A and B are shown apart, each in its own frame.
Chain A
Amino acid sequence: MISLDKLATGSSAKVISVEGGTNLKDRLHNLGVKEGMVVKKITGSSWRGPVVVTMGRTQVALGVGMASKVMVEPVEKSIDHSR
């Protein structure tokens, strides 16, 4: 299990938990970054910009600090038709 910011770019992972206050948890939850969701990391912190992840039809950009609070478990992603 690693934090989202450390996940390799281009790989997919399942969200295990979101550390941090309720407000952060709720906001991420609302956008779709929630426990059980499989996200694919599109851009990494290699350029120190925000982390962009895709979940189904939704794409979200979040700051590196926030990404470091999202704990994920890498998975083998099947073919994604929607994006």
Chain B
Amino acid sequence: MKTLLIGNPNVGKSVIFSRLTGVKVIASNYPGTTVEFKKGFMRFFNIKAEIIDVPGTYSLKATSKAEEVAVKIVEDADLIINVIDATNLERNLYLTLELIRKVNKPIIVVLNMWDETKHLGIEIDVVKLQELLGIPVVATCGLTGEGISQLVYNINEAKQSPLKYSKEPLWNEIGDIVETTQKLYHRHHTFLDVLQDLSIKPPFSFIIGLGVISASFFIMRSIGEGLINYIFDPFFQNIYNPLILQLSEFLRQGSFFHTVFIGNLVEGAVDYSQSFGLLTTGLYVPLVMVLPYVFSFYFILSLLEDWGYLPRLAVLADRLFHRLGLHGYAIIPMILGLGCNVPGALAVRLFEEKREKFIAATLMAIAVPCMAQTAMIIGVLGRFGSQYVFVVFFVLFCILQILGNVMNKFVKGQSPEILIEIPPYRIPHLRSIFKKLWMRISWFLKEAIPLVLVGILFINVLYFFKVIDFFANIFAPIVTNLWGLPKEVIGALIVGFLRKDVAVGMLRPLSLSLKQLIVGATILSIYFPCAATFVVLMKELGIKDMAKSVLIMISTTVVAGFILNMILSLLGV
């Protein structure tokens, strides 16, 4: 039996979905579109039901691709669960009444966020609402789980409303229903209310924005470094290292297996960031250097998401993004790209217009370094002083601005303006944050570690067969003369096609000066996306636009590398 979860965006459908479904959840695309939906399974009584989490939609009158898909999925459904935000009855009921009128299928309404109605002084007569709609209504709180069992128990009660609806304008009906069933009690403004207002009004909004961003960076850095210095690194040095040294003795330095698994010894000892063996660098880079930052980044991101700050950040950033041919909501792919460029590229689907997609995707791939890269940049440049890490980011930011302005002038087409709903602030529930965190980290471990290992194996093979030397000599003129880097950097550039963290790590053994490290780190960020991102971008942009994008990436790299090299030299770095 096909069951649907349908409702406005931001009503907590996903939480309800995760409460109803078991472990087997698949995210997939509706055929022929880039719109994603989630599918899971639920057992109730003796029926195994398929549950589909439909993209948030405001009405059946589709105004976007996501809504079109929602409408199509509704046509195939056997039973519809309409999730409503109880704190915003009036707006949410529009879709409910449309469903009742236009869809001849059994429906049950879920009044979610029930706990919040109490905080907000909203009282809803559920029985009366049930009467007026003609279909069952269940109150739930997705986050705590209250009401979910009642929902499951009552699913069979879902029915087509027996009530007749006239052709009167819908909004009058809704107004009547709301008036009869809802009572508002006066409540004093809470701190959260005040904060909500300030987060939007200048100049406070900017102060809060800066505060949030600074705090985010600070917390992220503290957790990241903390995890590295107090947990992961000590573990590697004190527990893992002795085992590796024993293995090293056993395999004999210089032998084939030694080179593959342990890599090259540096001054008689294993240097985990330089030895380049599968069991040494292959595990150290993703687990010790990158994972702590992936954890801390996604922890902060989940907090910001669940709290509801991101749309407000989009409003603040809107003007900035206009100059780049985008609008404020483009901050979402950029922020996601900071974690991993793949979700950043996927988020480009948020844009309906080809022009926006193209600009956002290209800018993200070029100017936004993923956490794997960032963690390595911190690891490699950190010893010169953390201000140099900021220098690299500042350079990337400048490239974003300049390139964005240029693209805005020359790319054909229209870019629409921002139009988003700003949800109320919600206190994040730690449980759902950790659940999200867990999903994102396991995804990272499953995807990243194999690729890092392949990357290391790959680069060792290429070195062995002198392929690196071959390419290094071809590109030496650009690399040495324009960028001021030794031609061996080509090795890093080649590995960078596969994994950016390993690539940045390859800068270490080259004994580069500070200036060269800054140029090298910048170039590795902007020249080309990693393989995974490249594949996703190809699907999103299509071959023609992807080719244009790649051209922009390469030319930007050559020019930016040169200019950066010159400026740093002039500054005496």
Contact = CB atoms under 8 A, between A and B. Distances in A.
Interface of A: 23, 26-32, 34, 36, 42-43, 46-50, 52, 56-66, 81-83
A63 B327 CA distance: 9
Interface stretch (B21-29, B159-167, B197-205, B244-252): B197-205
Given A57-B424, A60-B422, A52 B88 contact: no
Given A26-B61, A31-B58, A58-B91, A49 B419 contact: no
Residue in A27, A28, A61, A65 whose Cβ sees the most chain B Cβ within 10 Å = A61
A83 B91 CA distance: 15
A75 to B, nearest CB: 17
B87 A66 contact: no
B315 A61 contact: yes
Given A43-B202, A66-B419, 14 more contacts: A30-B58, A36-B171, A42-B201, A43-B315, A49-B202, A49-B319, A50-B418, A52-B200, A57-B88, A57-B91, A59-B421, A59-B423, A61-B328, A61-B418
Contact of A81 (B185, B314, B327, B328): B185
Given A43-B201, A81-B121, A30 B59 contact: yes
Interface string B299-320: 0000000000001001110110
Nearest to B87: A57
B171 A62 contact: no
11 contacts: A32-B91, A42-B200, A49-B318, A56-B88, A57-B88, A58-B88, A58-B91, A61-B418, A61-B420, A61-B422, A81-B121
A26 B88 CA distance: 19
A23 B222 CA distance: 47
Nearest to A63: B417
Contacts of A61: 311, 314-315, 318, 328, 418-420, 422
Interface of B: 58-59, 61, 63-64, 87-88, 90-91, 94, 120-122, 171, 184-187, 193, 197, 200-202, 311, 314-316, 318-319, 327-328, 416-424
A47 B209 CA distance: 15
Nearest to A60: B421
Nearest to A27: B63
Contacts of A59: 200, 421-424
B71 to A, nearest CB: 13
B200 A81 contact: no
Contacts of B59: 26, 29-30
A21 B421 CA distance: 20
A34 B171 contact: yes
Contacts of B202: 43, 46-47, 49
Contacts of A50: 315, 318, 328, 417-418
A21 B50 CA distance: 38
B200 A43 contact: yes
A20 to B, nearest CB: 12
Contacts of A32: 90-91
Contacts of A36: 171
A60 B201 contact: no
Contacts of B185: 81
A66 B94 CA distance: 23
Contacts of B171: 34, 36
A82 B422 CA distance: 15
Contacts of B121: 81
A59 B185 CA distance: 20
Nearest to B67: A30
A10 to B, nearest CB: 10
A1 B196 CA distance: 30
Contacts of B193: 83
B523 to A, nearest CB: 34
Closest 5 CB pairs of A and B: A63-B417, A30-B58, A57-B88, A59-B422, A27-B63
A78 to B, nearest CB: 12
A32 B420 CA distance: 11
A66 B419 CA distance: 9
A44 to B, nearest CB: 9
Nearest to A37: B171
Contacts of B423: 59
A60 B200 CA distance: 11
A62 B417 contact: yes
Nearest to B327: A63
